[in-house]
């Protein structure tokens, strides 16, 4: 019986994913979400219901439009499958509950924002506002119920009691925006431009409102980790192609030293304080050298490799949602 319900949740998610594709597509074209029936973006032929079955239609048609044989974007089945899996996982975790409903809606917004960011490098503010509002309501009624603590205070002589989770939610919203804006603006002092766009501040604020301040910190740390896993190899490859071997070797040396340092620390090599101090100074010096060269290269570069940070934030949010 339980398995049957999980299958329903998965299929429900697939259908929602199909709808999210329409939301993304029409978000860019400005068309209404409900009114015009789906059509092929190439030949504009109206699509029949059997061309719109999530994932299956894509597989049966071998990823090509039935009418004009143009390729259908792989984005469609991926979004459907991702939404299906998210719904399945959330249903498995929460069962049919308010928690499931709120997290499923949030997951839909994650998917839409991630796709918009990857596809066009845009975050629509409305999606972030919706997520923030959802998060404030979710925590106002303490639906996550991670803590049952309440906060009492008096306002105009009235005793007011609110859930602690709501305080965390408001703090998370403020902190998300301030932290990301701060990080984005630091490079302005050095290279005269922001590190990333305002979209990431919107996402971080909205995630803060949904998950609360303590979880937001975890999400931020995780997202940096995810982003590094993708960006670092790309950056190394770029340096290699640009033949910037000075910076490349300095960076490799830095990483090797950090790893050695960690291993040494673990194995208890640093018994003498002098040796420990010497290692730290060496590490900092190489780090500073790398920073200097990176700043110089970014300053002279017209077209730096830009990778949106939003998807990493949203991926981290999904991980925190399930853990």
Q: Which stretch binds Zn ion (CB under 5 A): 65-73, 127-135, 252-260, 290-298?
A: 65-73
Residue 41 C-beta: closest distance to Zn ion, Å: 8
Could you tell me which stretch among 23-31, 34-42, 49-57, 172-180 binds Zn ion (CB under 5 A)? 34-42
Cβ proximity to Zn ion: between 38 and 279 the closer is 38
The minimum distance between CB 43 and Zn ion, in angstroms, equals 3
* 47/269 with CB nearer Zn ion: 47
Q: Could you give the CA distance from residue 288 to residue 305 in angstroms, rounded to a whole number?
A: 22
Binding range to Zn ion, per CB under 5 A, among 32-40, 97-105, 263-271, 288-296: 32-40
Binding status of residue 72 toward Zn ion by CB under 5 A: no
Select from 7, 59, 68, 225 the one that contacts Zn ion (CB under 5 A): 68
Nearer to Zn ion, 67 or 236 (CB): 67
> Nearest approach, Cβ of 65 to Zn ion (angstroms)?
3
Helices (H), 143-244: 164-191, 199-211, 213-241
C-alpha to C-alpha distance for 192 and 133, rounded to whole angstroms = 34
Q: How far is the CB of 35 from Zn ion (least distance, A)?
A: 20
Task: Compute the residue count for the chain.
Answer: 323
CB of 43 or CB of 259, closer to Zn ion: 43
Give me the least distance between CB of 56 and Zn ion, in Å please. 18
- Tokens matching residue 161: 């009691």
- Rule CB under 5 A: say whether 65 interacts with Zn ion: yes
40 interacts with Zn ion by CB under 5 A: yes
Which span (11-19, 60-68, 214-222, 268-276) binds Zn ion, by CB under 5 A? 60-68
Give the shortest CB-111-to-Zn ion separation in angstroms.
25
Q: Which helix (H) or strand (E) holds 110?
A: helix 98-120
Give the integer Cα–Cα distance in Å for 166 and 138. Answer: 8
Dist. CA 206–CA 212, nearest whole Å: 10
Quick one: which of 8, 67, 196, 236 contacts Zn ion (CB under 5 A)? 67
CA gap 252, 164 in Å, rounded: 46
Q: Of the two residues 46 and 262, which places its CB atom closer to Zn ion in the complex?
A: 46
Q: Tell me, what DSSP letter sits at residue 68?
A: T
Name the phi and psi angles at 32, rounded to 5. Answer: -70, 145
- β-partners of residue 154 are 159
Q: Which stretch binds Zn ion (CB under 5 A): 59-67, 140-148, 232-240, 244-252?
A: 59-67
Extract the runs of DSSP E, i.e. beta strands, from the chain.
150-155, 158-163
Angle between helices 2-29 and 75-94 (to 10 degrees): 140
Rounded distance between C-alpha atoms, residue 288 and residue 315, angstroms: 31
Smallest gap from residue 38 Cβ to Zn ion (A)? 11
Q: Which helix (H) or strand (E) holds 318?
A: helix 310-322
43 lies in the binding site for Zn ion (CB under 5 A): yes
CA dist 235 and 258 (Å) reads 18
* DSSP helix/strand/coil, 161: strand
Q: Does the footprint of Zn ion cover residue 291 (CB under 5 A)?
A: no
- For Zn ion, the binding residue among 5, 42, 265, 305 (CB under 5 A) is 42
> Cβ of residue 185: shortest distance to Zn ion, in angstroms?
45
Query: What are 151's strand-pairing partners?
Result: 162
Q: How many residues interact with Zn ion (rule CB under 5 A)?
A: 6
Cβ proximity to Zn ion: between 42 and 150 the closer is: 42
Cα–Cα distance list, 20 to 123, 201, 320 (Å): 15, 23, 22
Residues in touch with Zn ion (CB under 5 A): 40, 42-43, 65, 67-68
């Amino acid at each position: 019986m339980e398995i049957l319900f999980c299958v329903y949740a998965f299929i429900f998610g697939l259908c929602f994913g199909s709808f999210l594709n329409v939301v993304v597509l029409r978000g860019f074209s400005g068309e209404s979400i409900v009114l015009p029936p789906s059509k092929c973006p190439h030949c504009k032929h109206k699509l029949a219901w059997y061309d719109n079955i999530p994932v299956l239609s894509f597989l049966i048609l071998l990823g090509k439009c039935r009418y004009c044989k143009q390729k259908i974007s792989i984005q469609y089945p991926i979004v459907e499958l991702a939404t299906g899996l998210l719904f399945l996982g959330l249903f498995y975790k929460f069962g049919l509950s308010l928690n499931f409903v709120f997290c499923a809606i949030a997951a839909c917004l994650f998917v839409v924002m991630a796709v918009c960011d990857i596809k066009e490098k845009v975050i629509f503010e409305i999606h972030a506002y919706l997520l923030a509002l959802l998060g404030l309501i979710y925590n106002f009624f303490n639906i996550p119920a991670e803590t049952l603590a309440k906060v009492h205070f008096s306002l105009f002589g009235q005793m007011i009691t609110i859930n602690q989770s709501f305080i965390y939610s408001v703090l998370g919203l403020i902190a998300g925006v301030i932290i990301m804006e701060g990080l984005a603006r630091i490079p302005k002092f050095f290279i005269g431009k922001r590190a990333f766009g305002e979209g990431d501040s919107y996402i971080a604020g909205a995630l803060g409102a949904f998950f609360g301040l303590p979880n937001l910190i975890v999400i931020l740390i995780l997202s940096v980790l995810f982003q590094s896993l993708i960006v670092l190899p790309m950056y190394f490859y770029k340096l290699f192609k640009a033949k910037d071997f000075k910076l490349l070797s300095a960076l490799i040396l830095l990483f090797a030293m950090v790893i050695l340092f960690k291993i040494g620390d673990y194995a208890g090599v640093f018994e003498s304080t002098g040796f420990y101090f010497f290692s730290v100074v060496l590490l900092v010096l190489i780090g500073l050298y790398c920073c200097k060269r990176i700043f110089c290269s970014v300053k002279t570069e017209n077209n730096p490799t830009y990778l949106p940070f939003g998807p990493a934030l949203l991926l981290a949010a999904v991980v925190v949602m399930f853990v």
